[in-house]
Structure 1
Amino acid sequence: MTANSANTSASIFRLSPLIRITLLSLYVALTVPLPFLAQVTAAPVPPALLWVGISIGLVALYAVLTERVILDEQGIQVAYPTWVPRFFRKGWSLSWAQIKELKPRTTGQGGIVYYFLSQEGKAYLLPVRVARFGQMVRQVQAKTGIDTTDVSTLAQPWMYLILLGFTLLLLLIDAWTITTALSIGQIT
């Protein structure tokens, strides 16, 4: 199954922008002060090495956040852009005929995730952090006949808004930390 089938129109569902912005901002807030603090404290790890690690981590996180779900007449596909190596994130695809059922599973934190079960008994995680999730689930129901009325996202948007708010607060604290570290570095 390909995303560019000639005679079918595909619906593409990308990760929610709120989730992408929140997670990327949180990563920056948690990592960017480290090279500055390493320099001021004369840590054994050189700041340049930390910058390299932070950059690699940022690219890896961004790659994960480029996940998209593609629904067309043939089936459902979770895919990544061609620049994301397959060994890093493979994705998967199922034809509508291969889908036997949608099974809920409880997470360790008490939430519920859903898996497509194929005719062969393999499980495929239903992506729940996509924008227009309700529309995607309605299309899955229309194509498979599986009742999806109880299917919901793992985390509600307000949870990510709260996390984004705290992340912005952390970024302000980071600005103060970096400014202080730079001024200490100039004094010594």
Structure 2
Amino acid sequence: MPFLADFTDAAIPPSLLAIGLVIGFGLLYTALTERVTVDEQGIQVSYPRWISWLWRRGWSLQWSDITALKPRSTGQGGIVYYFLGKSSDKAYLLPMRIVGFAQLVRTVQEKTGIDTRDVKPLAQPWMYLILLVFTLMLLAIDAWTITTALGQMGGQIG
């Protein structure tokens, strides 16, 4: 909050904080533009052209090229899955944070013949609900802080 930095005489200039906010918003927006496309031929993960040259390039696999779905544990104790293909030694991360994950897994099983009964989403819906509650709490605290600061600024001016 750049204007609060000015009000509190923070060591970091407000303009630097504003630039950081703009960069952070841009990175968040870019991360949220990932697109997963599933059709009769295969699966593709891509990003818009305006950022794919700088961000991740994406990937695509034909259903006939997928040989296995390998589980790997994460540092937080979860499990993610990677597609293994015939034509390369690369592994491709199964998109797990998408709407319709259960349908995606059914499609993978239908198109590849790989047993996907044990494939579960990385995060359960209740985890996202907890994140939403904490986000709303932080927004309320931010609103209170801004209101308090503006009230004090008004008292100093008069």
Q: Is TM-score (shorter-chain normalized) higher than 0.5?
A: yes
> 1 CA distance for matches of 2:65 and 2:46?
18
1:161 aligned residue (93, 106, 129): 129
Question: Aligned residue for 1:181?
Answer: 149
Matched residue SS, 1:100: strand
* Alignment match of 2:62 (pick from 95, 101, 117): 95
Q: How many residues align?
A: 155
Query: Which position in structure 1 is the counterpart of 2:7?
Result: 40
1:24 corresponds in structure 2 to none
Amino acid at match of 2:149: A
Q: Which moved more, 1:43-52 or 1:68-77?
A: 43-52
Hey, what does 1:121 align to over in structure 2? 89
Could you state the TM-score of these two structures normalised by the residue count of structure 1?
A: 0.77
Verify: 1:64 aligned to 2:64, yes or no.
no
Deviation, 1:135, is: 0.5
Aligned to 1:16: none
Residue by residue, what CA displacement relative to the aligned partner does 1:94-128 show, whole Å, maximum 9, x if unpaired? 11222110000111111100001122221111010
- Max Rg structure: 2
Q: SS of the residue aligned with 2:95? A: coil
Amino acid at match of 2:78: G
Moved over 6 A (4+): none
Q: Aligned equivalents of 1:107 and 1:132: distance in 2? A: 22
Residue 162 of structure 1: CA displacement?
A: 1.0
1:9 aligns with: none
Residues 59-83 of structure 1, C-alpha deviation per residue, up to 9 Å, x if partnerless? 2111111212111122110012223
Whether 2:110 is the aligned partner of 1:131: answer no
Unaligned runs of 5+ in 1: 1-33
The residue type paired with residue 43 of structure 1 is A
Structure number with greater CO (CA < 8 Å, separation at least 6) is 1
Counterpart CA distance in 2 for 1:60 and 1:89 is 12
TM-score, with length taken from structure 2: 0.90
Superposition RMSD in Å: 1.5
| Uncovered stretches (5+) of structure 2, i.e. residues with no partner | none
CA distance in 2, matches of 1:156, 1:83: 32
Which residue does the alignment assign to 2:48?
Answer: 81
